[in-house]
Amino acid sequence: MTDLSLREEILNRRMLICVFTGFTSGLPLYVLIQLLPAWLRVEGVGLAEIGFFALVGFPYTWKFIWSPIIDRYTLPFLGRRRGWMLVTQLALVISIALLGFLKPAFSIWPIAYMAAGVAFFSASQDIVLDAYRRELLPDRELGLGNAIHIQAYRLAGLVPGSLALILADFLPWHTVFIVVAGFMAVGLVLTLSISEAIVDPHPPKTLKEAVVEPFREFMLRKGLLSAVLILAFMFLYKLGDNMATALSTPFYVDVGFSLTQIGSIAKLSSLVAVIVGGLVGGVTMIRLGINRALWLFGLVQIISILGFALLSVVGANPYVLALVVSFEYLGVGLGTAAFTAFIARETNPVFAATQFALFTALASLPRTVANALTGIIIERVGWTSFFIICTLLAIPGMLLLFKVAPWSSDQTE
């Protein structure tokens, strides 16, 4: 590949769109997994209760149930994908802003209901954005496009996980949530400025066809055994990583860092790592392919989990915090980029919304179910032992690479 063709792969409008899809997709999730736990912890809610808040993420797990509706029906404005984008993004602006007006001291149930609403609208937005991105990107750009999407996705975490925490030291919580909700304007600008990826789409003729054909096509294309192994890999590859980072903000609080330190060091120190990870990951997948990237980035991802165990032993050392978080964003960000590119490669563009929703829902299942138990596990074994457990849980997914993505038979297209 020449330098000119490499520049053409990176510097095009499709990659810019991936930046915007990543940011607007990641922001609501990080509200739920970073800002919400920090707010509840500061307000005196226990770790076990905060851990159970992961259950509000069930829409991410079950989104494939209503994805056929989005595939089948087109709203009467903006087009097949953009209409659904606009509706879900407006709903997210409203629901995120309303969260801050609730009071944990009175009852956490209204907060749980509203958080579940944010998760539902966020998962619905992901269905549309993932389908649009799969339709937009040619196969040769899946690795780089999804790497850029993931890095922008993680970059969005700086808003609820860094800026919001710093603002919370000076502003009331309802103002903080309004500011964070305002950043969803990035998604609205995207929706109103792009065109449909497929000019003449052919959606399923019936809802039954929209439900049945995506599953049938995947099983026939891969074969039963291969399909089962691929689905198992999608569940296991990010299991240890998802558990390790589920309660990262309460972890920083318990170690002894202030909210300002968490916002300025733990979050902002990840910025350089995100940029480097995106560039290295994207170029690496162009050169080596998705399979080998899964192997290399998966190993780095496992090592990065051990960094949290080190921090739990060292204590509130800001330099160790910056080092651990930077390495985590580099390693885990790379692993997620390769993993998302793999999911996109296994998806048939004809059934993009439903198949992508099924695969990403399966990948998010550990974050929803296992993470709900993390608070209980931590209170029983402590932070250090918990991170060792997370490291061990990351190994089975790596072993499945021998079957689903062998190093010696990479598919670069």
296-355 tens-digit pLDDT? 888 888 888 888 899 989 888 888 888 888 887 777 667 777 787 888 888 877 777 788
Mean pLDDT of 243-268: 79
Taking the complete model, does pTM exceed 0.95, yes or no?
Answer: no
Which residue type, as a one-letter code, is found at position 261? Q
- Report the topology of domain 3-409: Growth Hormone; Chain: A; (1.20.1250)
The DSSP 8-state label assigned to residue 267 in this structure reads: I
End-to-end distance of the chain based on CA atoms, in angstroms? 13
1: confidence class by pLDDT, cuts 50, 70, 90: very low
Domain boundaries, the chain: 3-409
Task: Answer with the residue of higher pLDDT: 124 or 106.
Answer: 124
Compute the distance between CA of residue 49 and CA of residue 40 in angstroms, rounded to an integer: 9
345: left (phi over 0), alpha (psi -120 to 50) or beta: alpha
User: What count of residues does the chain have?
Assistant: 413
Statement: residue 398 has pLDDT above 50:
yes
Statement: residue 412 has pLDDT above 50:
no
Compute the distance between CA of residue 73 and CA of residue 44 in angstroms, rounded to an integer: 45
Compute the distance between CA of residue 84 and CA of residue 74 in angstroms, rounded to an integer: 8
Which residue type, as a one-letter code, is found at position 193? S
